[in-house]
Every structure is written in C-alpha cells, then in structure tokens.
Amino acid sequence: MHSRSRYDELKESLRREPRTWLVTGVAGFIGSSILSELLSLGQNVVGLDNFATGFQANLDDVLNSLPQHADRFRLVTGDIRDLETCRGACEGVDYVLHQAALGSVPRSLDDPATSNAVNVDGTLNMFMAARDAGVKRTVYASSCAVYGDSADLPLDETRPLLPLSPYAATKAANEMYAASFVRSFGAGVVGLRYFNVFGRRQDPNGAYAAVIPRWITSMSRGEPCLIFGDGSNSRDFVHVSNVVQANLLAATSTDQRAPGTVFNVATGATTSLNELFREVRDALATVNPAAAGAEPVYEPPRAGDILHSSASIGRIQSVLGYEAGLRLSDGLLEALDWYTRTTGASV
C-alpha cells in the first residue's frame, strides 16, 4: 500500500480548516499557480499585484476554472514598494507567500536600481508588514542564482553565495534580511531557492521570457530558437506544481528547523539546453508535425548566465517532507497542453 505523502496530509488538513493566505505577485506565473491550488483547497486568498509583469488573464484563467471558489479571492492592486499597501494586504492573514519580484538576470543588468527597489526594498516592506500583522509564517521566493557558477555540483544550501548578477544579489540580500528578522524579531520566515521553474501560464513573450515558453512559441511559428552558448549549459528544470507544494509545506511546517532556513526547490536532475531543445521539439511534434524539423540557432553566451546548475534536495525532503512530483517530460506535456489551448501553438 502506497503511504500518503506529507503534502497529501496537508491538503486534507487545509480542506478541513481553511486559512487565509496572502500571495504577492498573484497575477504572475508562479503566483497564479499558487492561487489555483489554494482555491481548489477551499482557502481564502488575498492577492497583491501591480501588474508590472503579471497579467489579469492569468487570474481570469484560474477563476474561470474554479468558479465555485471565486468568491474566496480578493485582489489588492498595489505595489510592494509602498509599505502601507503591504500593511493593508497583511491584515487578517495567516500566511504570506511572497512571490512578487522583478525576475530575469538580463533585466537586472539593464536596470539594477529598479530590480533592487522591487526585490530588496519591496521584500523588506513585506517582512515588516507581516511581522507587524502577526502573520504566522512568511515564505519568500529566492533563487538558485545566489550560488553563482560552481563546478562542485550538486549545490546544497550550505554553499557560500556568489551572485554573478544584480538580480542574484537582490535575492541574496533577501536571504540576509530574512535571517536578521528571525534573529532580531523571532519572525517565522522561510526562504525557497527556486531552480528553473516552468509550466502553464509562463509568459512566452518579451525580452526576458523564459526559455521553455519562448521555444514552444517560436517552434510553433516556425521561428528560430536561440541558444546562448554551445547548448551544454545545464539546469534543473522544476515544474511549477513542485514549487506550489514547497510553498504550502514551508508555510505550515511545524518543524523547528524551518524558520530562518532556505531550501532548494528543484528535482535533483539536470538537463542541458541541447537536451531540453530536443525534449521540447519532440513534445511539440506530437501536435505539430512541422516542429519535428526544428533546429536551434546558437548565439554568443550572455553576461551573468551560469554554466551549470544542479540541486541537492535532501534538506527540503527531510525537513518539509517535499517530494518532487512532475518531471521534465511530463511537465512539458502539461505545459504544452495549456499553450496549445490558449495560444493556438499547434497551428
């Protein structure tokens, strides 16, 4: 008989006793995925977003799929750079899942000051607002970018931080602030170092689009797919459902080791960009045979990009009971199904 996972037990508990959650960056790719899971579990959710990188369409997609729970969601349109907005959003909230940020290494190289204002000042505001509102637990999104480029893989959480970009530096600063809030105020703050997250509702457009949705869209249109470098760069691609699981486990864990700790959120498996290209191409070819002949176009490496990234997930497994679920091939099919239905990517 298959034993029940800690996440299965948590979901059952939440259905019995609904809580109130604040999700910042709720209109983004990850934020809307968290919203979908929370509403499906009958939770009450406050969402905060300024729609700088999020989309109303993401919220509509979630709410239209869960009409019976739509009245459990309240949207606050505002900016985490405004402390009073953060304070208002935290009122009456049990848990904060802080996803709001300006992502992208290239964006931070183009405009370090704005990345700092949103990612550092905004996160500090959220930490202060959650502390003052008596929130039980704040979970914030960090990034594997804090590790820099290390040849000693896999990366575990004891590794020194060597950020190569302003974006990575903002995430390292978040971790330092979180640790100080635990030590100074006894705040319940937990960090999650996301590796390369992918899945439905990930934006395929714009200069800073992530590689998987960008390639799906480009292949569907018969446009070239760019690989920066020779394609040997490797990443740990983690489906967004695993990230959602990590957030809910981190928020509710009673393990005394959790507050003040950061956890890798990944699968523990690596894939090169060349391998990823073939996976995306083969998946897309099942619905669009013309994609089968697609070949990548190689461009010079980009500044700030890491060569290889591979995660150890022992800590999050042992402390939070996390289990990596959907793997790359199955996750790609799930994401592809969404892209083909919503963007007509198969035609």
Rounded to a whole number of angstroms, the distance between the first and last alpha carbons of the chain is: 44
pLDDT value for 346: 42
pLDDT value for 118: 98
**Helices marked H in 101-252:** 105-110, 112-116, 122-133, 166-185, 211-220, 240-252
Could you give the CA distance from residue 50 to residue 79 in angstroms, rounded to a whole number?
Answer: 5
- Asked, for residue 1, whether it belongs to a domain, the answer is no
298 included as an active-site residue: no
The total of other beta-carbon atoms located within 10 Å of residue 71's CB is 10
Mean pLDDT, residues 322-341: 86
Helix (H) or strand (E) holding 228: strand 225-228
Could you give the CA distance from residue 92 to residue 135 in angstroms, rounded to a whole number?
Answer: 8
pLDDT of 161 over the 90 cut: yes
- Asked, for residue 281, whether it belongs to a domain, the answer is no
Mean pLDDT, residues 207-236: 87
Which tokens go with 172?
């390292």
- Asked, for residue 278, whether it belongs to a domain, the answer is no
- Asked, for residue 217, whether it belongs to a domain, the answer is no
- Asked, for residue 153, whether it belongs to a domain, the answer is yes
pLDDT value for 345: 44
Mean pLDDT, residues 193-209: 85
Which domain CATH number covers 147? 3.40.50.720
pLDDT tens-digit readout, 9-64: 999 999 999 999 999 999 999 999 999 999 999 999 999 999 999 999 999 999 99
pLDDT value for 333: 86
- Asked, for residue 343, whether it belongs to a domain, the answer is no
- Asked, for residue 15, whether it belongs to a domain, the answer is yes
pLDDT value for 126: 98
DSSP-derived secondary structure for 242-307: HHHHHHHHHHH---TTSTT-EEEES-S--EEHHHHHHHHHHHHHTT-GGGGG--EEEEPPPTT--S
Average pLDDT of the chain? 93
What are the phi and psi torsion angles at 157 (to 5°)?
-70, -10
CB 43 within 8 Å of CB 18:
yes
Total-model pTM: 0.94
pLDDT value for 293: 87
Band (343; pLDDT cuts 50, 70, 90) = low
- Asked, for residue 178, whether it belongs to a domain, the answer is yes
Number of domains, the chain: 1
Instruction: Specify the residue for token string 């009122």.
Output: 91
For 190, half-sphere exposure in the C-beta direction (CA atoms, 13 angstrom radius) is 30
Q: Can you give the residue range of the structural domain that contains 22? A: 6-197+238-266+312-325
Of the residues 7, 95, 167, 177, which is catalytic? 167
pLDDT tens-digit readout, 79-134: 999 999 999 999 999 999 999 999 888 899 999 999 999 999 999 999 999 999 99
